[in-house]
Amino acid sequence: MEILDKLVNVALLAATLRTTAPILLVALGGSFTTKAGIFNIGLEGQMLVGAFFAVLGSIWTGSAFAGVACGVAAALVFALVFAILVVSFKANEVVVGLALNILAGGMTISLMKAIFGTRGSIVGHGIVGLPKVQLPGARDLLGSWAPLISGFTPLVYVAFIAVPLLVVCYNRTRLGLYIRVVGEKPEAAEALGISITRVRYTASLLCGLLAGLAGAHLSLGYITMFTENMSSGRGFMAVAILIFSNGDPLKVLAGCLLFGFADAFSLRLQTFGYPSYLVLTVPYVVALIALFALSYRARPRVIAETLESMRKLLSVDKNAEPGGKNPQ
């Protein structure tokens, strides 16, 4: 029980919110393209370039917020390239997304070597991290639970505030309605005079905006450094969440909290001497379990449909059998 108290406490819950933020930001960005009918597997690459150029921008300008702007701009460029190839040239979205992910990984490594003369990580060099926001009165209001609402960087608050904003956007605004119509009924959208191309470009750029914020949070908020492939599969986790949530912001939040808790719990386990190669698999094991649970929930329906198809096939065979006999 004492070990459990050390593992699960306020510090773990606060760490869960911090680790959830980058996954939540990039997944909410992906919800725009998912709702618009685009399967965007390039979230990982957009997040990675956002993290790298956020660090670069903070070094060049001496400002964390200018660094965030540079990271967002880089992610928007990748999002625009994705939209041009997928929306305008009708290229395969999976192939384009994977190609951009590979490009992002190689480009950040090459630029790190060319600019800083090193590989592996960028530490120091005048990187300016995002400040932590201390909410006035949080300690008086919640006491020892205050770290759950205070002491985070601004992008953590942006991530969680974005959830209700996207709910309102999809249900109460013209843009949200257009995105949903284009994704669900593109023929109806054309009949209504809605430009499918324009809506999908807008959705892709909004996705790039939030993916860039997610990357900037990783390198300037979560930690103040950049390492090779520091997105560490978070973009692919976001894709997995989008598959079983269908882009619904509340379901996205639930999935991201699950993965964020797994990530924070794995980091906490390392302090108890568990092998790191086992501990680091925890978030991915959780992803597999979540996808398995989703498919298992749908299994009764699949089995029922299969049995119904077999019953119809057998009934057809029985009805055809008498007519198929040759008279003696």
- Tens place of pLDDT for every residue, the chain, 328 residues? 455 555 667 888 898 999 999 999 999 999 999 999 999 999 999 999 999 999 999 999 999 999 999 999 999 999 999 999 999 999 999 999 999 999 999 999 999 999 988 888 888 788 999 999 988 888 888 888 888 899 899 999 999 999 999 999 999 999 999 999 999 999 999 998 999 999 999 999 999 999 999 999 999 998 899 999 898 889 998 998 898 888 999 999 998 998 888 888 877 777 766 676 676 677 777 767 776 776 666 566 656 666 677 677 677 655 655 555 544 4
DSSP string of 252-274? HHHHHHHHHHHHHHHHHHHTTT-
Q: Is residue 1 part of a domain?
A: no
Amino acid at 142: L
- What is the count of structural domains for the chain? 1
- Residue 136 CB-half CA count within 13 A: 0
- The 8-class DSSP code of residue 126 comes to T
Residues 6+ away with beta carbon under 8 Å from 116: 122, 125
Residue 120: domain span? 20-134+141-232
pTM: 0.85
Instruction: Tell me the chain's radius of gyration from C-alpha atoms.
Output: 24
Q: Is residue 43 part of a domain?
A: yes
Q: Is residue 53 part of a domain?
A: yes
- Residue 93 CB-half CA count within 13 A: 16
Enter the tokens of residue 77. 């460029």
Q: Whole-angstrom Cα distance, residue 87 to residue 110?
A: 29
Predicted local confidence at residue 266, as pLDDT: 79
Q: Is residue 88 part of a domain?
A: yes
Q: Is residue 282 part of a domain?
A: no
Which H helix or E strand runs over 122? Answer: strand 121-122
Predicted local confidence at residue 317, as pLDDT: 56
Q: Is residue 273 part of a domain?
A: no
